[in-house]
Amino acid sequence: MLNDFISDQKAELKIDGKVYQLPIIIGTEGEKAIDIRKLRTETGCITIDSGYMNTGSCTSDITFLDGEKGILNYRGYAIEDLAKNCTFIEVAYLLDHGSLPTQKQLDDLARMLTGFSMIHEDMIHFFDHFPPNAPPMSILSSMVNSLCNFYPEMTENPLENFDLMSARLISKIRTIAAFSYRKSMGQPLVYPRHDYSYCTNFLHMMFDSPVNPYEVNHDVVMALNKLLILHADHEQNCSTSTVRLVGSSRVNLYTSISAGISALGGPLHGGANQAVIEMLEEIHANGGGYRKYVERAKDRNDPFRLSGFGHRVYKSFDPRARVIKAACDQVLEASGMSGDPLLEIAKNLEEVALQDEYFIERNLYPNVDFYSGIIYRAIGIPSNMFTVMFALGRLPGWIAQWKEMWDDPDGRIGRPRQIYTGPTKREFVPIQDRIEE
Ligand code: CMC
């Protein structure tokens, strides 16, 4: 409850000579917010905050992020510890239930994930009707939204059915993602196996073939677990806020998540991982001259930006990028790609940028997307599937945030206000009297 965190401190606001006292809310990690819930009623004013740079839309028990210190914790656990010691499914349980699972809880979840891993045969026909070059993110978003038609019983009492609904979604999104790749390649669908773990099953559905059986590589499976863990939640980012906002209208979980997938696809958000690899490939194809790209990124007259650099919240470093960079060499070796020239270019680009005044002044560091594409590529995942991988990882976070939003006693439909700046009242002009303006 928001009111449980109201402190004794007050902020003072003076408007037209009148002073208003505003409560201050303090979170468990000491973060402060001015409570403006009664601002408009008491003062007639609203706040303007484009891009919501200073706006807290909720309180949340899920993820703590300190952008200045480069800290990211899920439910109090540092992501470095989780990435080192857990599987993705353990972390999904942690996010959605609030605590790490016991062995029995984990086994139960694994059983549910296996049980739900098929998708309805009628849904499989949908894949036949997307055009050949349809972006996988739009296929994913459409397919996830259509799940609510196949499992309508899940939408009536969402919290009663939460465990079921969440396991179903986490399991099926993996099958949908792999199937959309197989279809795009014109290859037969590969069904999930009951004896494989979550990540192994995904790789099996992606890459197994009757003429070239997929051989499970432990290091690759561990790397995939790590990547998905590092993407699993990131508090109120663009796609998560979308999930919460859409869900606040009380629409079902599948539709809310589908909207989040759409938001994630943009190049300023999850789409950046694809943009990074395309940028590195371009630099490589042009002879590896990375310095020219750093100069272009600094040029105000050039719209080019260094993809995978900068972050709205992290201003010292992105802790996820550090873990991923450290994993790169190991994965490249495991997949027979050590010496990948793109990794060399990425490291050089990072080094040059980090010593450059432009990047230092603006606190621009490599973000999670800068190195993740190199690992995905080494695993064999094509670049147009990178953002789908981000969505697979982010799903448990979206689900946890949706549940928290649904259950929040302070929750209301999301409905920002605006300041109108258009024409004031005009006389209506009949069509025959109108002149072109
Ligand atoms: N390359 C060159 N200049 C940059 C970059 C970049 N990647 N990012 C920011 N800047 C400059 C920007 O031009 C501005 O300069 P000035 O003050 O001279 O106008 C200054 O740094 C501040 O940038 P901003 O766009 O106001 O910052 P923001 O917080 O609105 O945007 C961002 C954050 C991530 C959208 C932006 O840094 C960016 O476009 N980065 C490249 C895309 C990217 O890697 N996105 C992935 C984000 S992490 C994963 C995720 O959230 O999905």
Give me the sign of the Cα torsion angle 166, 167, 169, 174: positive
**Can you tell me which residue has the tokens 């998540």?**
257
Does ligand 1 have an atom closer than 6 angstroms to the CB of 368? yes
* Per-residue pLDDT, 241: 98
Instruction: Name the token pair of 113.
Output: 């994930």
Q: Which H or E run includes 32?
A: strand 32-34
Tell me which DSSP letter residue 64 carries.
E
Residue to probe by mutation, ligand 1, list 231, 274, 313, 362, most atoms within 8 Å of CB: 362
Beta bridge partners of 64: 73
3-class secondary structure, 16? coil
pTM: 0.92
| Ligand 1 and 367: CB distance under 6 A | yes
3-state class of 147 per DSSP? helix
Cα–Cα distances in angstroms (integers) from residue 335 to residues 328, 376, 389, in the given order:
11, 11, 18
Q: Is 310 in the pocket of ligand 1 (CB under 6 A)?
A: yes
Secondary structure class of 6 (helix, strand, coil):
strand
Pocket test for ligand 1, best of 52, 305, 352, 356 (most atoms within 8 A of CB): 305
The C-alpha torsion from 206 through 119 and 253 to 169, rounded to 10°, is -50
* pLDDT score of 334: 83
How far is residue 89 from each of residues 92, 237, 258, 267, measured CA to CA in Å?
Answer: 5, 22, 21, 27
Integer Cα distance of 128 and 145 in angstroms: 17
Beta bridge partners of 10: 23
Atom of ligand 1 nearest to the CA of 269: 52
Q: Whose alpha carbon is nearest atom 41 of ligand 1?
A: 307
* CB 386, CB 375: distance < 8 Å: no
Cross-strand pairs, 289: none
- Looking at the chain, the number of H-run helices and the number of E-run strands are 18, 6
Ligand 1 centre to CA of 241 (Å) is 19
- Nearest atom, ligand 1, residue 237 CA: 51
The answer, yes or no, to whether any atom of ligand 1 lies below 6 A from the CB of 239, is: no
pLDDT value for 244? 98
> If you measure from the C-alpha of residue 70 to the centroid of ligand 1, how many angstroms do you get, rounded to a whole number?
17
Q: Which two tokens mark 370?
A: 């800068």
CB of 165 closer than 6 angstroms to any ligand 1 atom: no
DSSP H helical ranges for 185-216: 198-207
3-class DSSP state of 65: strand
The protein residue whose alpha carbon is closest to atom 14 in ligand 1 is 362
Residues of the chain short of pLDDT 50, as ranges, are none
369, 407, 408, 433: the active-site residue: 369
Task: Say if ligand 1 is within 6 A of residue 311 CB.
Answer: yes
314 lines ligand 1 (CB under 6 A): no
The yes-or-no answer on residue 369 being catalytic is: yes
Strand residues in 127-233 grouped as ranges (E): none
Quick check: is 311 catalytic? yes
Q: Report which of 284, 277, 287 is spatially closest to residue 369, judged by C-alpha positions.
A: 277
Cβ of 369 closer than 6 Å to ligand 1, yes or no, is yes
Separation between Cα atoms, residue 233 and residue 397, nearest integer Å: 4
The residue from 208, 311, 318, 340 that is catalytic is 311
Burial call 86-111: b when 16+ CB within 10 Å, e when fewer: bbbbbbbbbbbbeebbeeeebeebbe
Cβ(280)–Cβ(347) below 8 Å: no
Q: Which amino acid, one-letter code, is at 345? A: I
Alpha-carbon distance of 390 to 394, in angstroms, equals: 6
Beta-carbon contacts of 169 under 8 Å, excluding residues fewer than 6 positions away, are 144, 147, 253, 254, 257, 395, 399
* 248: its two tokens: 């606040």
16 φ, ψ (degrees, to nearest 5)? 50, 40
Asked whether 369 and 144 are in contact (CB, 8 A), the reply is no
On the CB side of 141, how many CA atoms lie within 13 Å of its CA?
19
Burial class of 415 by CB neighbour count within 10 A (0 to 12, 13 to 18, 19+): exposed
